[in-house]
Amino acid sequence: MKKKYLFLILTVFLGTLVSSAQQDPQYTQYMYNTQIVNPAYAGNRDALSFGLLLRTQWVGLEGAPQTGTFTVDTPLGIQENMGLGLSVVHDQIGPANETNFTVDYSYSINTSETAQLSFGLKAGMHLLDVDFSKLNVADAGDPRFQNNIDNKFQPQIGAGLYYNTDKFYAGLSVPNFLTTRHFDEGSLINTTIESTPQENLHYFLIAGYVFDINENLKLKPAFLGKAVSGAPLEADLSLNALFNEKFTLGVAYRWSAAVSAMAGFQASDGIFIGFGYDYQSTEIEDFSDGSYELMLRFDVFKKPERVLTPRFF
């Protein structure tokens, strides 16, 4: 039954190659992965910060999405009002592999003693590989599946705004402004598979606030909204609790898609480990065993006060 459903997934995937918009990867622990979607976050932690996130989606389905992200960023300048970072995203689904390499730059302006507004730019490249030999094609001689796609290159340019205080943050970003196509749609006429959808603009809106319940407990409700032409609006609502500056527990709801839970542990001043699980609220849960994420963050702090008073975002 799972293989039968996988055939449906791959059919939908190949259909998107011809006709519809493409979604960027999604994450349960997006609040710990902010730089991927918003370059204005680079350098915001006042530390040399490394982040690694691994996501396996729809466990039990062969060819289901697998995503890995790596980020590194640091503040720059005499007043450390600039940030510079690197983001790498690798996404695999069925026969397709996509990899993004981008450099992230931010410039921050202090709007008060406890608040700043950051402007960010993201620039890099996108590579795509598709190996059609991994598909069980009904007609092995179909010319549309004869030519694999190897390292198809597209540039990427994005931007973002990020505002934060010691308790509140909000951001708006578009990771890629270039609405280029991965392939030439007209080449379908020449009986090749050189056709995929236009890479439409993705708009991300994030916000969150930290409530100090007492000296040992903080609560952080957060929101992420994502909009892209050709796909439904997506909204994630989450609530995370931080206990004794060490343990994090959270729940989240992805509108009409999934219910999630996460747990995290601040192993040391600079090391955070997190784990997330998604239970799909759609019919796909009947054919899979949910989705999982593992997250690791390592910070090298330059300011001791950032260690004593972690900001929880």
Q: How do the domains of the chain map onto residue ranges?
A: 2-308
Percent of the chain with pLDDT over 90: 49
Tokens of 190: 């020449």
What's the pLDDT score for residue 209? 95
Mean of the per-residue pLDDT values of the chain: 81
The answer, yes or no, to whether residue 194 has pLDDT greater than 50, is no
What's the pLDDT score for residue 175? 92
**CATH for the stretch 2-308:** 2.40.160.40
Assess contact for 299 and 277: CB atoms under 8 A: no
For residue 153, name the pLDDT band (cuts at 50, 70, 90): confident
Of residues 278 and 131, which shows the higher confidence score?
Answer: 278
What pTM was estimated for this model as a whole? Answer: 0.83
What's the pLDDT score for residue 269? 86
